[in-house]
Amino acid sequence: MVSTKNPRVSYGLAILEAAKKCDEIVVLTCDLMGSFQTSKFAEIYPNRFFNLGVAEQNMAGIAAGLATCGKVPFVNTFSCFSSMRCLEMLRTDIAYPCLNVKVVSCHAGISLGPGGTTHHSTEDLAIIRSIANFTLIVPGDASETYRAIMACVDYPGPVYIRLGRQDMEDIYDGETDFQVGKAKELREGNDITIIACGYMVYEALKAADRLISQKISARVLNLHTLKPLDEEAILKAAWETKGIVVAEEHTVIGGLGSAVAELLSKKRPTPVRMVGIKDTFCGIGPVQDLMIHHGLTDDEIFKQAMDIARLSF
């Protein structure tokens, strides 16, 4: 297994390993070899690596063409570009014919803090989740990123994998499996459930530890796959606990929180609180300052869990 805390380094290592096992893998990028750690791939597999320059829409179209020829394209660019600049190509050229293209997007959420609103990606989960045929994955740490990439090599159809920029704290104590569409229960709990993805999984674990002091037992689910959604794990949590807090580095409109609430409204009405970016743009600043400003912390998760506790206990 990889020994790194950075998801982008994990991707670079994983795609190298995957290429050994699958000759059809090709990598496409837009002058972002450093950001995606793919320089080694380009050196070892020069005939399977395509740098398209700053032309993201063209890259998506080329990936679609390669997929029709039996290749397994891994497309690399910032998530703000892949989900918005390339949206028509992702929808019409890739998802509509259900082509086997893997869109690996980094610098997601507000992880490129000084880049500002133009380079933030706080709407991509809502956008991709709304496109038919797309699978949507948000790994919770660097090791899970590696396993997600390896799992997606043999997973059919379009996949969008969302990575941040910064190092991530480990959320697993040791080796664990990865299955597309299956949540991982990281903490047992009978009072409240915290569901999170990406960077917010670690914040959820910290909040769960703090809730112990309030004699509140919090279940923590790492819902790394937003689509297909693990309905069984969510409904089980709704039946067995008194409320759910959902945390994501994304707008509260249309992402993980919306997916959970939509399910529960139909099958098991449950108190739900959402921790995420409100209906606003995030501005410019150091990443940690932006996270605190927008409530993307264990403090906010703890606060929302206590709010449910006051209603339910």
Domains of the chain: 7-162 (3.40.50.970), 184-312 (3.40.50.920)
CA-CA distances (angstroms) from residue 223 to 4, 15, 186, 281, 285?
Answer: 22, 23, 10, 25, 28
Look at the chain and count its residues.
313
Query: What is the per-residue pLDDT for 1?
Result: 55
56 is catalytic: yes
The phi, psi pair for 180, rounded to 5°, reads -55, 130
* Residues near 282 by beta carbon (within 8 Å), at least 6 away in sequence: 110, 117, 120, 122, 290, 294
Q: What is the dihedral of CA 236, 239, 242, 247, to 10 degrees?
A: 30
Sole residue written with tokens 């997007």: 105
Please report the pLDDT score of residue 47 as a whole number: 97
Series of mean pLDDT values for 10-residue runs along the chain (313 residues): 84 96 97 92 97 95 98 97 96 98 96 92 98 98 96 96 94 86 97 98 98 96 98 98 98 98 97 97 94 97 94 67
* Structure confidence at residue 190 (pLDDT): 95
Predicted pLDDT of residue 312: 64
Do residues 151 and 145 make contact, with C-beta atoms less than 8 angstroms apart? Answer: no
Given 43, 56, 175, 188, which residue is catalytic?
56
pTM, two decimals, is 0.96
Q: Which two tokens stand for residue 138?
A: 């948000």
- Please give the pLDDT value at position 108: 95
